[in-house]
Copies of this chain bind each other. A is one copy, B any other.
Amino acid sequence: VTAGEFDRIDRLARHLAGRSPDVPVGVGDDAAVVRVGGADVVLCVDAVVEGVHFTRALSDPADVGWKVVAVNVSDAAAMGARPRAAVIALHRPADLGEDDVDALYEGMAEAAARWGVQLVGGDTVRAGEWAVGLTLVAELDGPPVTRGGARPGDVVVLAGALGASAAALVAHAAGVPPDPAHLAAHRRPTALPATGLALAAVGATAMIDVSDGLGSDARHLAAAGGVVLDLDPAAVAAAVAPGVPRALGEGWLDLARGGGEDFALLATLPADGVAAAIAAVGDAGEVALHAIGRVAAAADGRRAGEVWLGTDRRIDHLGYDHG
C-alpha cells in the first residue's frame, strides 16, 4: 500500500461504508466486519499479480497459491478472527498451463488445510497477465481487534520475526543464493491466526499484520489510535530473523524493518496483560511474543501518528511499495 493509495482510499471513502450497526468495521483496517444473518463476519481480500508480488524465478505456482492464502489469513489474524472459508478469482494468461493451474490450487489447498480454511469456489477468467485474488471470510469469538485502539501506557508487542523475506529478495537481486530459511519465508510465509486469536483473547487493544514493513505498519497503528509509538531499538533488533544481518549487510536493521512481507503481528496491550499474552501466544504454538515498545500520548511536540525508535529517531516512511 503506497502513500498514493492511502490518498485514494481517503478520496474514495465517501463511496465506502464507514462504521454502522451493519458494518462494525468498515474500510481502513486489515479487514472489514459486516453483520450478515445476525453474525459478525470478517471479510478480507488480497490479490497478487505476477511481476508485482511474485516472480516465477523465485516462486513456483504452488508457492503463489500458498502465499495468496497466507496473506489473507494474516489479515484475518490481525482482527483476532478465525479464518473459515475463501473464494478465488484466478486471472489466467495463455502461458499458464494446466499443470501450473493444478499446482497453484495444490498450494492453496495446502495452506487452506493448514489454517482451517475451506476453499468453496471461485471464478477463472482469461487474462493477459497472471493474477490471483482471494477473499477470505473469518469469524469472531469476541469483538474484533482494530488498528485504532492503542492507549497511552499500553505495551507494544510483536509476534514473529522480521526481515527474512526481504533478505531473500536482496540476495536474489544480487545474484547470491538466498539462505534457504529466508527463501522459505518469501515463498511460503507463515500466517499467525492462533496467535491473533490468543492476543484478542487476552485483551489486545489494537493489532495489525506487518505486511508493509514494521515502520510503515507501526505508523498505521499510531495514526489510527491517535497516539505515538516508542519502539526500543534493541528490542526491534532482537526481533530480526536469524541470518538477516549477514544477508542484508550494512543498513540491515533499516532494511529488515522496512522490507515487508513478514506477516508478523504487531499489537498493543495493557501493561498488566503482557505476561498473560506471552504465555497465551506461547500456548498458541506459532511464534514467540516480544515486547518492543510503549504507547505514548501525543505531547511535547510529538504528534499523533509518529513512531520513534529510541528518543532521537523518528520513523518517517519505511515500507515496501506493494501497490
Contacts and interface: CB of A to CB of B under 8 A. Distances in A.
A118 B18 CA distance: 9
A216 B48 CA distance: 32
Interface stretch (A22-30, A147-155, A242-250): A22-30
Interface stretch (A33-41, A158-166, A259-267, A302-310): A33-41
Contact of A120 (B26, B85, B105): B26
Contacts of A122: 16, 27, 45
Contacts of A172: none
A49 B126 CA distance: 8
A15 B105 contact: yes
Interface stretch (A135-143, A179-187, A311-319): A135-143
A77 interface: no
Q: How many copies does the complex hold?
A: 2
Contact of A22 (B23, B40, B89, B118): B118
Contacts of A323: 124-126
A87 B45 contact: yes
Contacts of A17: 85, 118-120
A214 interface: no
Interface of A: 5, 8, 11-12, 15-17, 22-23, 26-29, 31-32, 34, 36-41, 43-49, 51-53, 84-85, 87-89, 91, 98, 101-102, 105-106, 108-109, 118-129, 131, 133, 135, 137-140, 322-323
